[in-house]
Structure 1
Amino acid sequence: MASQRSSLRLAACLLNISEARKKDIVERVAKAALCDKQGERKMQATVLNIFSDYDYNRSVLTLAGPVETLGTSVLAACIEAFTLIDMKDHIGIHPCLGAVDLVPFYPLSESVSLEECGRVAHDVAEKLMFDEPDCSLFYFGYADQTLKRTLVQRRKELNWFNRSSSEVKERKPDVGTAVTPRCGLTGH
């Protein structure tokens, strides 16, 4: 049994999306992390929790699975969220920047490092650019491979708490096109 435990290389992603009031959208994003387009279970990941805050109009989906494959599940969930959520229509008291707001990865096993989680987050961001060309991304933590700026630092740099449309358009992403009103800006 000990050898099985040591071979588990698990990580989690706390996927933050800018929707909590439309339960069907939140559920479709969660399902995309687990199933293919036909609804067949295909991923090794699982949804551990969904926390939705109506006033914030924000949900956090806790996804977990093997670090080697978790990125594929998270990527599918992000694509679904970008398809279903339009930031032009978003209303909520929490200052969020994107339809997919944050995509942080964390180790759940001792054999998985923060650096490895950062590489997975970075890889998901790069792949997302091909699947959702209107999205724009910024890096933080271990995904910000050179500088490793914290989320707090990045929020200050991006003037996170000012949600006026002119401010959002002026934000410069690390990757992607100029920030679009539909997708907003996503942190990886």
Structure 2
Amino acid sequence: MSSSRLGLRLAACLLNISEARRKYVVENIAKAALLDKNGQKHPEVTVLNVFSDQDYNRSVITIAASVDKLGSSVLAACLEAFHATDMEVQEGIHPCLGAVDLIPIYPLSGVGVEECGEVARSLAQELALHVPGCSVFLFGEADLPEKRSLVQRRKQLGWFTRRDFSALEPDLGAAPARRCGLTGVGASPYVMNCNVTIDSQDLSVGREIAGAIRGSSANGLKGVQAMAFPHKGKIEIACNVECFEDQQATDISEDSQYVTYRVLDNHFSYVSPHYIEAQVKKLAGDWGVGTIGTALVGFTPQECKDCAEYAIKENTGEFWKIQGGIFM
């Protein structure tokens, strides 16, 4: 049964928190998203996936809900995360600025990205109001009127290299406190995380490959942001895969490079994770190394929508326990 027949307008948040090494903490954050302020279970909220990486010390919690319920659900998860995470002692390979590092809101079905931006702005205001020391920067549809992208905002704030928060100026909230750091809140078309591991320990090779597939490079892949990190004794090419509005697309389809899907009357496309893997494998081969695995962190947009519809229809809040972690 589709979300329209269920009467739901669905959106998702891929909540990024700077904690992965204490499993009970991550699970408590995920469970907090399922309860309202009276401790009762939200009927239109599900946690679809919990992905934790101990080397990165970062978790991504996929929360899907009716767009009317998503803001309060994510707020509850964030309150738990801020309570349990201290950036003064946090360590990990992955760049981050905040205990709750990123709160992106994505449309799934029956809702536009502009309305997701309204949800994100309201959520940012609630966080600044209810969390002492919480500081927020806005991006995408939440960042009015400029609508600066997450990539732009991260570069401005030094997300890739900064660990000193004292000089940062938030869009909302007080000056960043060491414990909380700085949190990004925004909305955009769906963004996936696709990571490909190369069979090498040479970070310079990884950086060359990441640079070559990055969408900003001359022959890069549209909508792909890529970085290289040491990971479990090898090098991982970590990619954010952005969906972009595609006026040329006329139907949901898949070819060797792009996958297309529709939300309301708008068509969006993204580079296929299989194509990213193939390109990384080819480039790695040019350096004389192979690839040894690919992880899609969470879901494609269509998978996220389908799983959200099923989980809400079946009243399965802890859907991630069915999936057992990484969903491929």
User: How far did 1:133 drift?
Assistant: 2.6
Percent identity between the two aligned chains = 61
Residues 46-65 of structure 1 correspond to what in structure 2 (within 5 A)? 46-65=46-65
Distance 1:24 1:2 in 2: 34
Deviations 1:50-71 (A, max 9, x none): 1111111000000001001110
Maintained 8 Å contact 2:97/2:163: no
User: How far did 1:19 drift?
Assistant: 0.3
Distance 2:3 2:17 in 1: 37
Residues 15-30 of structure 1 correspond to what in structure 2 (within 5 A)? 15-30=15-30
Deviations 1:126-168 (A, max 9, x none): 0111210310000001111211100110011101112232xx2
- Give 3-state SS (helix, strand or coil) of 1:104's partner: strand
Name the count of aligned residue pairs. Answer: 185
- Farther off after superposition, 40-49 or 92-101: 40-49
Distance 2:36 2:26 in 1: 16
**Larger strand share, 1 or 2:** 2
User: How far did 1:6 drift?
Assistant: 7.3
User: How far did 1:38 drift?
Assistant: 7.5
**Unpaired runs of 5+ in structure 2?**
186-328
Give the alignment's TM-score, normalised by structure 2.
0.54
Distance 1:43 1:180 in 2: 35
Maintained 8 Å contact 1:9/1:66: yes
Name 1:180's counterpart in structure 2: 177
- Give 3-state SS (helix, strand or coil) of 1:118's partner: helix
Name 1:31's counterpart in structure 2: 31
Larger Rg: 2
- Give 3-state SS (helix, strand or coil) of 1:89's partner: coil
- Farther off after superposition, 87-96 or 33-42: 33-42
Name 1:146's counterpart in structure 2: 145
What amino acid is aligned across from residue 46 of structure 2 in structure 1?
T
Maintained 8 Å contact 2:3/2:9: no
- Cα 1:43–1:72 change in 2 (3 A) is farther
**Unpaired runs of 5+ in structure 1?**
none
**Larger helix share, 1 or 2:** 1
- Give 3-state SS (helix, strand or coil) of 2:88's partner: helix
- Farther off after superposition, 156-165 or 137-146: 156-165
- Give 3-state SS (helix, strand or coil) of 1:181's partner: coil
Give the alignment's TM-score, normalised by structure 1.
0.93
Indicate the structure whose relative CO is greater, using CA pairs within 8 Å and at least 6 residues apart: 1
Distance 1:150 1:4 in 2: 30
Distance 1:134 1:90 in 2: 17
Supply the RMSD in Å over aligned alpha carbons: 1.8
Name 2:81's counterpart in structure 1: 81
